[in-house]
Each structure stands twice: as structure tokens, then as C-alpha cells.
Structure 1
Amino acid sequence: MLEYIWLDDETPILQQVPVEYSSAAIIFSPFIQMPEGWEKAKRKNDYEHIYPNDDDIRGKGKAVSWKKVMSSCGFKTHAELALALMTSIGALRDEYAREDLADLLHVNIKGDLFYPSEDHISPFHIPSLVKVLGANGSNRFYYAEPIVENSGFLDITEANLRTVLDDAAAELILMDDKMDFVFMSVYDSFINVFLAKDESINEWVRLMDWEARICDESTHISWYT
């Protein structure tokens, strides 16, 4: 089976993946809206930073699109929002950091609206992952975590995907047992990479209602710079 791929920012994504994967997409993880007053009720003091865990997100959270956050911040492109997010977590070198965009994001991310899942695959994507991984008739999916050297096969169910995602380290790869579709988390980011062997990736993104950037031959993992 295919193992996790550490994508560098010097070479286009499609040149770094096995040749049988002819298409790729960058999937944006949704922002997280918790019920009004949720954070205040969780905090033990005014200085405590609270972020919802996976159970909180699945139980009470609602997905908020990048498009909606872009509108509230006055950003014109997904790249500007990505730069704001990456700058705010200190993931960019000084020459790429955009403190002005990060400041605008901070002003607009308040109350019970939270950043997307960082480093991990969003819990909001579990139902669509079940559909994609089983679309070719596969009954099992493969998962691999290189940091902890953990891997294996499980039946394609929401419960099994929840278990894997809840326990996963920052790097994780998922694929159906026929290896037609691949979904990877990306460290220090708020996106995932979706690979497909055929050219139907646009259709999959549309059917799953994912916010995404379809990769061409020149798209890098640092697509926002």
C-alpha cells in the first residue's frame, strides 16, 4: 500500500506522487462554529484558551466555509485566507508572513468561531470520506501514520474513521483497499490533499461539496505564496 508522502514546497504536487495518480486537489478544512456561549462555559478563567475536541465538533459544531470567513474579513482569495492562517500559527518564514492579513483574521474570528482542524483531517469530512473510499466497491480502507509507525485495514464505516482520526498523529494517509483514492493530512496547515487515479476529481469535489483547489501541473503544496 502507499505510505504517507511528505510533500516538499519546491516541486509541484503531481510530480511528487506516484504516476498512477493523475489528479489531485487541495481540500480546505472548514472553520468550526460552536453554539453561542460554548467557550465561556468551558473556560475556567479569562486567560484559558479553549478549542473544541473532536467529540465537541461532531456533537455541537457546525462547518463554516472559507468563503464565508473570506467575506467577513474582506479577503478576495483563498490564498489570502491561507496566508492569514499560516502567519497566525507561525508556520511561514518571515519573507512570506502576512501579519496584516493575520490581524484582520484575528479581528473576525471571535466568540465561538474557531480555526479549522490544524494538521489533521476535519471531523466534518468523515461522511464524505465514507462515500469516496467506498465508491469503487471497496469495503475496507487502509490508514498509515508514519510518526508512530501505526497502520492497518478497517471496514469503511463512520465509526472506524472517527476512531482513526481521533487517535491520529499529525501525519495520516487514508485510502481505499484498491488504492484508487487517497486522502492525506498536511502538517502545519489547514488543508488536506486528495488524490485520484482518474480525471474525475472535479466531479468528486463537487459531489462531496468540498471547498477545494484543483491542482494543475504547476500547483505546489505552498499554493498560497
Structure 2
Amino acid sequence: MADKLLLKLKDDDLYFPSEDKISHFVVKDIIQIYLSQGIKTIQYSEPILDSCGELNLLQIEPIEICNLAPTEVIITDHSHSIAFMSVYDSFITLMLTNVHDPFAIVKEYNWNAIVCSDDTKINWFL
């Protein structure tokens, strides 16, 4: 669906908002990040309705990740080295990672990002 919409958009930087969910436009990138690190299975948790499970990245369609939960969802690998989280009542997707250079991931996938550190306050977005 996102691919079909992107074909019709004249500006590659234009995204439709999908509140509470991981954006359709970054799901393929997220899958590629996991696969490039040799990760083939991810875990997900949906805290509002308390559902969770595992997904094999080689056997799913990207849209399935977008539809994991009606509200916020967290996906991560078994080692918890990188996680992605949709934010309730927001259009952002958080990338939480312990890799040394998160800037490399942001740059490689041409994402816009706000990079937080240990000193970042909980209300950084206000």
C-alpha cells in the first residue's frame, strides 16, 4: 500500500501520518536493519491490550508489522540491541539502540531524527 502511494507522490519527503503505529514508510527499513544484522526473528509487545509474540522476518509482509496492534507497539530482537516503538497519540517512531553509532543508521536510511543521550529529559519533545 505504501509503495503504491509513494508512486503517486511528487515529493519523496511527504508522508501521511499514521497515529499510534509504526509508519508504513519505515517498516521495510526496519526489517532490512534487522536482517542486515543477521536477525531473522523479532519479538513484539503491545502494552495496552497486553499482546505479544514473535515474527519471522523472512515469512511476513511489511504491512503485518504495521498491523500488529491498534495502538502502540514495541518490536525488538532477542538480544534487545535495537528496538522500535510507536508512540501513543503521536506520529513518531522511536529507535532505541545500544549500537555505538546510531547516526550511521539514520544516515543510511535517510531518516529525520532527534538523537537523545543519557542527559535527555523525559519531556524533550515539549
Alignment of 1:1-150 (within 5 A): 55=1, 57-61=2-6, 62=9, 64-65=12-13, 115-150=16-51
CA distance in 1 between partners of 2:45 and 2:61 (Å): 14
- Contact (CA 8 Å) 1:180, 1:197: kept in 2 or not? yes
Cα distance, 1:145 vs structure 2: 0.8
Cα distance, 1:223 vs structure 2: 2.4
Question: Which has the greater radius of gyration?
Answer: 1
Cα distance, 1:115 vs structure 2: 4.6
Structure with more relative contact order (C-alpha pairs < 8 Å, separation 6 or more): 1
* Pairing 1:183–2:61 present: no
Q: Which runs of 5+ in 2 are unaligned?
A: none
Cα distance, 1:216 vs structure 2: 2.2
CA distance in 2 between partners of 1:212 and 1:160 (Å): 25
What's the Cα RMSD here?
2.3
Which residue among 60, 63, 66 is the counterpart of 1:165?
A: 66
1:216 alignment partner in structure 2? 117
- Contact (CA 8 Å) 2:83, 2:96: kept in 1 or not? yes
Indicate the structure with greater helix content. Answer: 1
Cα distance, 1:126 vs structure 2: 1.4
Cα deviation, 1:10-54, whole Å, max 9, x if unaligned, reads xxxxxxxxxxxxxxxxxxxxxxxxxxxxxxxxxxxxxxxxxxxxx
- Contact (CA 8 Å) 2:15, 2:25: kept in 1 or not? no
Q: Which runs of 5+ in 1 are unaligned?
A: 1-54, 66-112
TM-score between the two structures when normalised by the length of structure 1: 0.48
* Pairing 1:205–2:83 present: no
CA distance in 2 between partners of 1:137 and 1:183 (Å): 17
TM-score between the two structures when normalised by the length of structure 2: 0.81
Cα deviation, 1:88-127, whole Å, max 9, x if unaligned, reads xxxxxxxxxxxxxxxxxxxxxxxxx775221111000011
CA distance in 1 between partners of 2:38 and 2:113 (Å): 25
Percent identity of paired positions between Structure 1 and Structure 2 = 29
